[in-house]
Structure 1
């Protein structure tokens, strides 16, 4: 029997993720707030573009979402025209948005009342990971629902893990973003120091990347940081949205995040420089400007 998967949200991540499902032979139905994005998707993949969420999810085995933030999730999931009211009993709802743990818990409870499963499943790996089907997915929810959803997510992931009950996926993604914020700032300072010291920054990276300083950020971003190229990757605006979620959760659980809070303000400086859509590695430009 062919699995029907409805994908809601065809942004830079959702577009290729839905494409991987179509290429895997699933019956894919798509909906996007901007209908032209669905029509563009149909030029690249096989599936059905729907005029409403209700049309998209009415016969779905799985409903997958990848939208902007908490408010967008509430908009597409709740209300008489939303996913929960229109997806069938027994459907599994998989949310790939980076959002708060609180909204995941809220949606899971509402879905359960309708006999639906819910998995919060934020991703790491960026646009390149989505396009290559190499995302890392961190999940929260009931183990039985997770086991049902895992083979579907595997079509665009290199790693899928259940981290605990509902909200655990989002909390794990917060850990991921906290770690990245500190790493990117540290790499920015290191490269800036190398430049100011008159060193060949590329040679420096070649040497230190063989030792304890090595990181994904160093391997994949140091070259473009040295060249001042930032029109790619994960946007500063998106990172600030994610860090706001981290800092709010930290206040709720009494966790101390002084470096994260500081880096968040550094990103605000980058936004003020006109870098709202620059890659997160653009922190180095702030150091170059304010030296």
Structure 2
């Protein structure tokens, strides 16, 4: 079984009281890095057993942190609250309402959302936080499950610069880069740019590998050669070999990418951006879903371009 987090060293600021809401494949290791960096961490998860499992694993580092039964309970003593949930509605469910985080946060506390969500919900919650004397940052991440486990995520933050400066040294427990990219909503927009780039690169890589395979080339050798030139990319280095081997049972799921590209296309309709390639690749991912690959890694785009494998 893969460990939930990988060993790393921490340049730890003064320990803070923090909460983490949402212990999925990303949130679980992110919260773990915060605990191992010396912060007092209180966690909440919709499935409480998951929170209990986290507490058991990180008991020695959590300094008295405990699983809470509601977001409101989890955040009451926290200076900074982190969240990583599924979508806009999941985010609203942990933030708003009588048992939501905003109901329990004390004045001046900072809510940092790592969910990949819409820029609209980020602005909505930023305004709601300001009305309550709270602070809100939209801070989606790039790096996937491996980046979360290794504490090597890239974080794109939108919101007030003063709040960002307080959060940045704490977030470096699970990230290699934490950058303020603009006002509220800008973090989510930057993540959309990231996903457009990833989707386009993966479609191009899929076509290139399928072409080379049909041409009878030694594709591992070709990848090694072109990986030293202008075509090199993270996707080529880390997904090219597994694409050639037909391995897709890992990584960032097609379902998640379709959710993210849906956010991109919705935003493009609002701002007038033309996204013909992104819209096409989104439909290609729909093909992969229909063929049974909803939970396959996003590199599974190549399966559309190759003959079916014998069963």
Q: TM-score, normalised by structure 1?
A: 0.98
Q: Show the counterpart of 1:77.
A: 95
Moved more, 44-53 or 233-242: 44-53
1:56 has 2:69 as partner: no
Q: Show the counterpart of 1:235.
A: 253
Q: Return the offset for 1:112.
A: 0.8
Q: Show the counterpart of 1:265.
A: 283
What is the distance in 2 between the residues matched to 1:110 and 1:234?
31
**Unaligned residue ranges in structure 2 (runs of 5+):** 1-13, 60-64
Q: Show the counterpart of 1:6.
A: 19
How do residues 4-153 of structure 1 correspond to structure 2 at under 5 angstroms?
4-46=17-59, 47-153=65-171
Q: 1:154 aligns with which of 156, 172, 190?
A: 172
What is the distance in 1 between the residues matched to 2:35 and 2:307?
46
Q: Show the counterpart of 1:171.
A: 189
What is the distance in 2 between the residues matched to 1:113 and 1:90?
11
Cα deviations by residue, 1:24-72 (Å, 9 ceiling, x for unpaired): 1111000000111111112221331111111101111111000000010
Q: TM-score, normalised by structure 2?
A: 0.92
What is the distance in 2 between the residues matched to 1:174 and 1:153?
21
RMSD in angstroms over aligned alpha carbons? 1.2
What is the distance in 1 between the residues matched to 2:161 and 2:23?
27
Q: Show the counterpart of 2:62.
A: none
Q: Secondary structure, in 3 states, of the residue corresponding to 1:162? A: strand
Structure 2 contact 139–187 (Cα < 8 Å) conserved? yes
User: How many aligned positions are there?
Assistant: 291
Q: Secondary structure, in 3 states, of the residue corresponding to 2:43? A: strand
* The structure with more helix, counted as a fraction of residues: 1
Q: Show the counterpart of 2:217.
A: 199
Structure 2 contact 87–117 (Cα < 8 Å) conserved? yes
What is the distance in 2 between the residues matched to 1:2 and 1:254?
45
**Unaligned residue ranges in structure 1 (runs of 5+):** none
What is the distance in 2 between the residues matched to 1:287 and 1:19?
40
Moved more, 256-265 or 49-58: 49-58
Q: Show the counterpart of 2:11.
A: none
Q: Return the offset for 1:2.
A: 4.4
Q: Secondary structure, in 3 states, of the residue corresponding to 1:233? A: coil
Cα deviations by residue, 1:228-267 (Å, 9 ceiling, x for unpaired): 0001100000000000000000110000000000000000
What is the distance in 1 between the residues matched to 2:274 and 2:15?
48
Cα deviations by residue, 1:134-174 (Å, 9 ceiling, x for unpaired): 00000000010110111111111111110000000000000
Q: Return the offset for 1:285.
A: 0.6
What is the distance in 1 between the residues matched to 2:19 and 2:220?
45
What is the distance in 2 between the residues matched to 1:247 and 1:92?
30
Cα deviations by residue, 1:176-210 (Å, 9 ceiling, x for unpaired): 00000000000000000011001111011011111
| Poorly superposed stretches of 4+, deviation over 6 Å | none
